[in-house]
Amino acid sequence: MALIDPLLMGMVANKASDLHLQVGQPPKYKVHGDLFLAAGFPALPKEEVERLLFEILSHEQRRRYEAELDFEFAYAPSNEARFRCNLFHQRTGYAATFRAVPTKVPTIEELGLPPAIAKIAELRSGLVLVAGPAGSGKTTTVAAIVDQINRTQKRHIIAIEDPIEYVHVDAKSAVSHRQVGTHTESAVTALRAARWQDADVIVLGEMMEPEVISLALTAASTGTLVIGTLPTNSAAKAMDRIIDAFPPAEQNQVRGTLAECLRVVVAQQLVKRKEGQGPRVPVTEVLLGSGALTMMIRERKTDGIVNLMQSGRAQGMQTMDDALERCVKDGRIAAEEAYMRALDKHRFEHYVVAAQSAAQVAARAGGAQQH
């Protein structure tokens, strides 16, 4: 057993999503969005952090970490636990964040995602984007979509990741996991090779580099279903991020290709559950491809996306504010939390007033019982 394994197993026992290590600080767990000290551990000197981290690195991984200062990899101390590890340097020296990756891939239904997302599995080609800031659950949502395809469709799925997080066991589909730097030189190399590998579905990590985006758009427009993630917080900004990745002279061509092949955009954030009990709630915006969307992208009118989603509710579209309001009504998230995250704050003001009034009544009732 590696020295760090008890800390990682403590994550599992405490239902923590992340473990944070840095020189001069005690280890900290993040549970339901809040940081807590790991019980029984003191502040860690440089030598202790070095022992914890370097024991689980190969010689080549340690060389890369020391040379590049940032390094990401996956670590599985047992069949029951898997972690995405990001090592970096900061003011006091070595530091790391370990994120727990469930060994069982959650389903779309278990995550509470809208039914429109399950229909992505039925698509035969085109581009699907899952957007959200860091730590918003994008990877988990993509894994649930891949799981839906794997269980219901007979496809060859190629997942190009750095590092591999969720591991899919073949069901009706065949799933090929390719880790950048281990199984392929780069995401670009893997994308170019996918055309010769009979790929029906290509799953990508964050689509940031222009060459990766260009190859993904080409594959999506020529008969492959491509699913990728972007670090943006709305559907409209996801499309802007794709286009803005290219020089101005190339943007019109990219805009045209994107308009033709975009099928679905899911923008997601994780919101604390009401009363802070239980895992955070994924709240999703859903934009579906249509003739109207194609025209908006071509004519640079993405400022009308919110109105398009509002008018397309019957088809399964929803804005982020729609999703937040539904979660408030269902009692999953607090009105104040929704208000802070909403685009149209006026829409949530009466929920906040009602929640505050209810809290005041409860406080008075509790005071009366004490007397």
Together in a domain, 136 and 285: yes
Domain of 269, CATH number, reads 3.40.50.300
8-state DSSP, 330: T
Together in a domain, 161 and 24: no
Together in a domain, 201 and 70: no
The answer as to whether 293 is a domain residue is yes
- Which pLDDT score, from 0 to 100, does residue 367 have? 65
Instruction: Centre a 10 Å sphere on the Cβ of residue 219 and count the other Cβ atoms it contains.
Output: 23
Q: How far is CA 114 from the centre of its chain?
A: 16
Together in a domain, 82 and 173: no
- Which pLDDT score, from 0 to 100, does residue 99 have? 93
Secondary-structure breakdown of the chain: helix, strand, coil percentages, each rounded to the nearest 5:
45, 25, 30
The answer as to whether 250 is a domain residue is yes
Q: Which residues contact 260 (CB under 8 A, 6 or more apart)?
A: 221, 294
Together in a domain, 128 and 247: yes
- Which pLDDT score, from 0 to 100, does residue 204 have? 95
Together in a domain, 32 and 114: no
Domain of 47, CATH number, reads 3.30.450.90
- Which pLDDT score, from 0 to 100, does residue 279 have? 86
Domain end position, chosen among 38, 70, 101: 101
Domain end position, chosen among 53, 74, 101: 101
DSSP character string of 64-79: HHHHHS-EEEEEEEET
- Which pLDDT score, from 0 to 100, does residue 370 have? 61
**Helix spans in 153-300 (H):** 187-194, 210-221, 235-244, 248-261, 291-298
* Distance in angstroms (rounded) separating the CA atoms of residues 310 and 287: 10
Q: How far is CA 92 from CA 49, 56, 70, 95, in A?
A: 11, 21, 15, 8
The answer as to whether 177 is a domain residue is yes
* Distance in angstroms (rounded) separating the CA atoms of residues 113 and 47: 44
Burial class (CB in 10 A: 0-12, 13-18, 19+), 297: buried
Q: Domain range for residue 169? A: 108-325
Q: Which residues contact 3 (CB under 8 A, 6 or more apart)?
A: 51, 52, 55
Q: How many residues does the chain have?
A: 371
Q: Looking at the 3D structure of the chain, how many domains does it have? A: 3
Single-letter code of the amino acid located at 188: V
Residues 200 and 194: beta-carbon distance below 8 Å = no
Instruction: Centre a 10 Å sphere on the Cβ of residue 124 and count the other Cβ atoms it contains.
Output: 12
The answer as to whether 371 is a domain residue is no
The answer as to whether 115 is a domain residue is yes
Together in a domain, 291 and 342: no
Together in a domain, 96 and 140: no
Domain end position, chosen among 85, 101, 117: 101
Together in a domain, 131 and 152: yes
Together in a domain, 57 and 138: no
* Distance in angstroms (rounded) separating the CA atoms of residues 216 and 294: 18
The answer as to whether 294 is a domain residue is yes
- Which pLDDT score, from 0 to 100, does residue 206 have? 86
Together in a domain, 348 and 229: no
Q: In what order do the strands lie in the sheet with 71-78?
A: 34-37, 28-31, 18-22, 93-101, 81-90, 71-78
Please give the structure tokens belonging to residue 299: 């004519």
Lookup result for tokens 């090779």: 193
Q: What is the mean pLDDT of each run of 10 residues along the chain (371 residues)?
A: 92 92 95 90 94 94 93 86 92 94 91 95 97 91 97 97 91 95 91 95 93 97 96 92 95 96 96 84 96 94 91 95 96 94 94 88 69 54
Together in a domain, 118 and 188: yes
The answer as to whether 192 is a domain residue is yes
The answer as to whether 369 is a domain residue is no
